[in-house]
Structure 1
């Protein structure tokens, strides 16, 4: 791994210390572009925590969540596998030297040229959920190993209900498996996804039970069913519920009941935000301010701030948790009074709004503020609308973990 923009530390410091350090550096160099702090140790710790809580479940990181090159490299060197959804994502992983066996092409609706690319590079594990997808795969990659993706009968509570777009219903599974058999395709397992940022752990128990029934149907038809993919949906912040511990308790119990170790079924999952959301923090600059006074002009009624990053940059995710957006001054000087505030991004668009009624201490133009937990579905969705700059990225890692990165680990 290259060392540019990476600070190797011997003493573990708080995220606030890292942010303060980089803000001071940018201030001294006259730079007021947004910046992002990436805590590599946090990702390593979460990777290990996954296998401590879910020892049977092989981690396939969902690249779509955050494809930052250094972070993906870290996960690869830890021994992680990858959930890819396109030719470019597959290429990014292969370029790191990752073996094709550590990739699942987990997009149930694939572009034909991308299927061909997967075949040419021996990425043979992929999902399907329709007859037309089977036709494409038969025509372009007849030797692929397939997982049938279904959507659970239980209505999963999630920020993004992926069942609206992907997955067959249980009643369609038999016909699709029979069709695959007639086409001499190799179905080796079942896949589901409870929805991104899933809000109820029970969604896993219901889905694993249904997966067992589809497994049995596949075996009766004559397939050797050997992989269960329990997808993503795991929360990224420790303050969110259900926690990984709560999910793991239910998942482990259900796996023991429906897919006991004696069956030798390989269990995989596709976490994304769980690994990276809390590892990224932003420092953004207040580039503008408007004070709105009461009618008698005796006091401040409301404050409008403009920041140098916004919805079209690193904070697209704010749309999904409007009430959850928060920020705090990097400079912790004592301030008592707070004011109702609106926070805008830097572009000329009126939808570039991060919060409309957030209570903040009075901030000065040129002051820096911290926004935490921005690692999931942020930079991969960012634009350069109005030609606004992307944030400067700074990475922090302990010396022990940096040394560890030189060698792949067996989880």
Structure 2
């Protein structure tokens, strides 16, 4: 099974109901132990199907536009495209990726708040017209490079928390929206809607109420200028939790019914990224080096006292210049699990995890409790599908993890029953028997 990030000719293991994700991970670790201990992902693409069903049950008729930067692997994009989801692209490379899947320009939004003129021209050339804008400078740049553009005014929201104060914030004020509309009139550019974004870290769902109310004000303002607006983009910020999805829907639905009812002709869309892919991918990493704190403190030849508990530092073959890049700007939302079996009463020690670069920024986990591990042992990180599988650094000869895609028969049947399994997509599937056993001839394999 091919699994390289850069390999477009990927395959999807179709699992019998007797095979589990743990079986796949066990078998891949077995393979890597014998062929070279390289970090790898296992992606359960069936979870994308389940998430989409959940979205339709809770959030319909709000149409999702998936932010490609969240996870741009070919399996994810092709499954989501097959499900009829739109795409939010932040650059030319992402636009090319989704266009290669046959996605129509009407289902693509160019969302970067700071666009390159050459990439605006590319969007114009390929018919991608809908794009976001939050300043007069950006608007003038778009007017010069794409006169047929249809703009969504990106308005700011009052959702800044202590954790976000250091992050860059985008979006314009209500007062400045009037100025932008005047500029759009002057340059002959269409304004067709409003976008806002509320972070997944925002705990106050009342922020949605303020944002939707502000959006209604912008729509009313647009009528004064003669703009016919028909799109409201409520952004991302969906964590993947069904409870959070229902809570957001409970807050926004009454306001949408009042301010943007069906008869208004306004299409409400959203940009769920993490929601779709976070739980679908599990990362396995290998310990490549180990240090004990007491080794640094005690002179050579001096034995450690038994009462002194060691503190272990482990170095793994992936880090912040690879799959843990998001750790540089936010907290890690997953905890490491030890792959090897150990006794329940085995002592746990204070440990830290670091990437392979030997860089002071390359700390993945500052403090956790783990049994004593050895070089060559494996750690498992769940919920690693978001913000980890796009373009990655080649710092320090970083080797990209392999990706192994899988899907259960029940999820595959659901896609077929819904009539959304294209012939092109079906060619990527191959059968994986339930009798996965390490060392057997039926073993789940990396062979094409």
* Alignment partner of 1:34 out of 17, 20, 39: 39
Residue aligning to 1:318 = 327
Contact 1:156-1:194 within 8 A present in 2 as well: no
Contact 1:322 1:355 in 2 (8 A): no
- Spell out, residue by residue over 1:194-250, the C-alpha distance to the aligned partner (whole angstroms, 9 max, x if none): 236544322222111110111111012211111101111111467xxx722212221
Could you tell me whether the CA contact under 8 Å between 1:348 and 1:386 is conserved in 2? no
Could you tell me how far apart the structure 2 residues matched to 1:358 and 1:68 are? 30
Q: Aligned-pair distance for 1:4?
A: 4.3
In the TM superposition, what is the alpha-carbon distance from 1:137 to its structure 2 partner?
A: 2.1
C-alpha displacement at 1:112, in angstroms?
0.9
Summarize the Cα distance change of 1:333–1:162 in structure 2 as closer, same or farther, 3 Å threshold: closer
Aligned to 1:383: 393
Give deviations 1:246-299, integer Å, cap 9, x for gaps: 122212222113212221210011111111111111111112222334975214
Alignment of 1:220-235 (within 5 A): 220-235=224-239
CA distance in 1, matches of 2:67, 2:283: 22
Partner in structure 1 of residue 439 of structure 2? none
Kept in 2, the 8 Å contact 1:341–1:358? The answer is: yes
How many Å separate the matches in 1 of 2:316 and 2:379?
9
Using the alignment, how far apart are the partners of 2:422 and 2:178 within structure 1? 44
Q: What is the alpha-carbon distance in structure 1 between the residues aligned to residue 152 and residue 355 of structure 2?
A: 42
Structure whose residues are more often strand by fraction = 1
Task: Give the conservation status (yes or no) of the 8 Å contact 1:322–1:354.
Answer: no
Q: How many Å apart are 1:319 and its aligned residue?
A: 3.5
Please identify, of 298-307 and 207-216, the stretch whose mean Cα deviation from structure 2 is larger.
Answer: 298-307
The TM-score normalised by the length of structure 2 is 0.84
TM-score by length of 1: 0.91
| CA deviation vs aligned residue, 1:98-157 (integer Å, no higher than 9, x gap) | 1111001112332111111111111111111111222222222212211111102x2344
1:167 and 2:171 aligned: yes
What is the rounded CA distance, in whole Å, between the counterparts of 1:321 and 1:181 in structure 2? 40
Equivalent residue for 2:422, pick from 399, 407, 411: 407
CA distance in 2, matches of 1:189, 1:162: 29
The answer to whether structure 1 residue 373 and structure 2 residue 383 are counterparts is yes
The answer to whether the aligner puts 1:275 opposite 2:276 as a matched pair is: yes
CA distance in 2, matches of 1:279, 1:81: 19
Change (3 A) 1:159 1:81: farther
Residue correspondence of structure 1 range 298-377 to structure 2 within 5 A: 298=306, 299-322=308-331, 324-335=333-344, 336-377=346-387
Instruction: Please name the residue that 1:18 is paired with.
Output: 24
Residues 284-338 of structure 1 show CA distances to partners (whole Å, capped at 9, x for unaligned) of: 1112222334975214321111111111111122344547552111123324210
Unaligned runs of 5+ in 1: none
How far apart are residue 80 of structure 1 and its match?
0.7
Range that drifts further, 32-41 or 200-209: 200-209
Cα deviation 1:22-45 (Å, max 9, x = unaligned): 212222x33211111101011111
Q: Distance in 2 between matches of 1:138 and 1:279?
A: 40
Distance 1:203 1:267, change over 3 A: same
Counterpart selection for 1:178 from 177, 182, 186: 182
SS at match of 2:35: coil
Query: Which secondary structure does the structure 1 equivalent of 2:293 belong to?
Result: strand
Equivalent pair of 2:58/2:246 in contact (CA under 8 Å): yes
Q: Deviations over 1:173-196 (max 9, x none)?
A: 112112212322211111111236
**Corresponding residue for residue 261 of structure 1:** 262
Contact kept? 1:151, 1:163, Cα under 8 Å: no
Query: Per the alignment, in what secondary structure is the counterpart of residue 311 of structure 2?
Result: strand
Q: Secondary structure at the match of 1:287?
A: strand
1:147 maps to 2:166: no
**Alignment match, 1:244:** 245
Q: Which residue of 2 aligns with 1:47?
A: 52
Structure 2 unmatched ranges of 5 or more: 1-6, 299-303, 424-448
**In 2, Cα distance between equivalents of 1:2 and 1:406:** 18
d(CA) in 2 for partners of 1:124, 1:3:
30
CA distance in 1, matches of 2:98, 2:165: 27
Q: Distance in 2 between matches of 1:127 and 1:330?
A: 44
Residues 10 and 75, structure 2, Cα contact 8 Å, conserved in 1: no
1:330-372 Cα shifts (integer Å, max 9, x gaps) = 1233242100111111122232111222111111221111111
Aligned-residue CA RMSD in angstroms? 2.4
Q: How far apart, CA to CA, are the structure 2 residues paired with 1:323 and 1:48?
A: 27
Contact 2:278 2:386 in 1 (8 A): yes
